[in-house]
């Protein structure tokens, strides 16, 4: 069998770049598409095999030592997998030609929803720019009325058999066919719409049911709603990453909704009943007499529906008693009369208390 270095026309101390350049020059000259003769085809196989061996540092070292591919190396016997691959041609030949059909890629898009929408869930129709099956060839990759043709280099096997010298003699190995790239067939007349890919880029609408209770950062998986695969392969999956918009009034702590209610000083003193416009309808709230700033009023089961489990969280209302800053003369007289009726007490120092919002936060969050 011809020496690999002679086949490529390089010296034994040639650098990897010199080997690559020699192979590219010969491959362009001998490729069956350029030079269809039988002699050129055989030389093309020899050149390709020589490059496969000499371009791999491990195989080149074994070849220089006289072991050939998969023989005895500097570290002793190779693994059993290497031995079987060498003697029995394991690899592409045993698997048969590759399939052009491949699974499409997964896709990730971000969906923004309002806080009011996650209480009970919502439905969205989302426009997605993705890969879809070509309507002209229906994923066959070929121009209508045509079909793939068998590769005349590998005979449809998708692999090329080559003889490799070893200490035990010449053995046969196989590698993917360079002409059909291991598919075993060639698309002679590609579809002009998809350029032989079997899919095109397009915008399609995906209906999405956003479940109740989702929060920012939650990812929803929609199997089979991702990109279409090449050559009519199955679709990948679509992942939706949720972002919940901030609300001007309400905030969220787990499954609970939080808000602050400003209460007039007189209502805090005397008590009253008021209506709060919650996210899912009005709520009647009773304010007991003597209500203090920082107290938390809890309305059960008016929070967010639990994503996992039954029921809903609570609506927690933090009270802020508003002291009037501008009084009419009549109001001032009434306040003075009220103050004079009470036993006078001078302001006294007491333990330092945090600001209202800090106290509300601490009480909200437990």
141 is an annotated ligand-binding site residue: no
Q: What is the pLDDT of residue 354?
A: 55
191 is an annotated ligand-binding site residue: yes
Classified as helix, coil or strand, 119 is: coil
Per CATH, 107-145+188-244 and 251-364 having the same topology is answered yes
| CATH T-level assignment (fold) for domain 107-145+188-244 | HSP40/DNAj peptide-binding domain (2.60.260)
194 is an annotated ligand-binding site residue: yes
177 is an annotated ligand-binding site residue: yes
Q: What is the pLDDT of residue 85?
A: 42
180 is an annotated ligand-binding site residue: yes
Phi-psi region of 131 (alpha: psi -120 to 50; beta: other; left: phi over 0): beta
- Which one is the CATH code of 251-364: 2.60.260.20, 3.30.420.40, 3.40.605.10, 3.40.50.800? 2.60.260.20
Q: What is the pLDDT of residue 348?
A: 67
259 is an annotated ligand-binding site residue: no
User: Do 91 and 85 meet the contact criterion of CB atoms below 8 Å apart?
Assistant: yes
User: Do 144 and 240 meet the contact criterion of CB atoms below 8 Å apart?
Assistant: no
The structure tokens listed for 118 are: 């996650």
φ, ψ at 281 (rounded to 5°): 125, 170
Report domain extents, the chain.
107-145+188-244, 251-364
Q: Mean pLDDT in runs of 10 for the chain (366 residues)? A: 84 90 84 72 83 86 63 35 41 66 92 93 92 94 93 89 71 83 91 94 92 92 93 93 93 92 92 92 94 92 88 93 88 83 70 56 60
154 is an annotated ligand-binding site residue: yes
The structure tokens listed for 51 are: 């490059």
How remote is the C-alpha of 208 from its chain's centroid? 17
């Amino acid at each position: 069998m011809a020496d690999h270095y002679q086949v490529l026309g390089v010296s034994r101390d040639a650098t990897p770049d010199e080997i690559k350049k020699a192979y590219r020059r010969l491959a362009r000259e001998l490729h069956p598409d350029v030079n269809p003769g039988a002699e050129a085809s055989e030389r093309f196989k020899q050149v390709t095999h020589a490059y496969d061996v000499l371009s791999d540092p491990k195989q080149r070292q074994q070849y220089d030592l006289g072991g050939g591919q998969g023989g005895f190396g500097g570290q002793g016997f190779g693994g059993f997998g290497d031995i079987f691959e060498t003697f029995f041609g394991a690899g592409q030949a045993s698997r048969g030609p590759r399939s052009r059909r491949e699974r499409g890629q997964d896709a990730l898009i971000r969906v923004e929803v309002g806080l009011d929408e996650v209480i009970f869930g919502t439905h969205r129709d989302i426009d997605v720019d993705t890969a879809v099956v070509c309507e002209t060839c229906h994923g066959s990759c070929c121009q209508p009325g045509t079909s793939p043709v068998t590769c005349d280099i590998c005979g449809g096997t998708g692999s090329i058999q080559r003889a490799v010298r070893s200490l035990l003699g010449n053995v046969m190995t196989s590698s993917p066919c360079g002409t059909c790239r291991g598919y075993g067939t060639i698309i002679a007349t590609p579809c002009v719409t998809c350029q032989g890919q079997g899919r095109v880029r397009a915008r399609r609408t995906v209906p999405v049911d956003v479940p109740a209770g989702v929060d920012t950062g939650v990812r929803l998986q929609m199997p089979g709603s991702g990109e279409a695969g090449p050559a009519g392969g199955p679709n990948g999956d679509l992942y939706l990453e949720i972002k919940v918009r901030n609300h001007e009034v309400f905030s969220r702590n787990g499954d609970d909704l939080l808000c602050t209610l400003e209460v007039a000083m007189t209502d805090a003193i005397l008590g009253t009943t008021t209506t709060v416009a919650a996210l899912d309808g009005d709520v009647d709230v009773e304010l007991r007499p003597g209500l203090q700033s920082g107290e938390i009023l809890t309305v059960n089961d008016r929070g967010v529906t639990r994503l996992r489990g039954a029921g809903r969280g609570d609506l927690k209302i933090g009270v802020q008693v508003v002291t009037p800053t501008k009084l009419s003369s009549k109001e001032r007289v009434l306040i003075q009369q009220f103050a004079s009726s009470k036993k006078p007490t001078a302001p006294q120092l007491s333990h330092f208390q945090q600001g209202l919002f800090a106290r509300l936060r601490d009480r909200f969050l437990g």
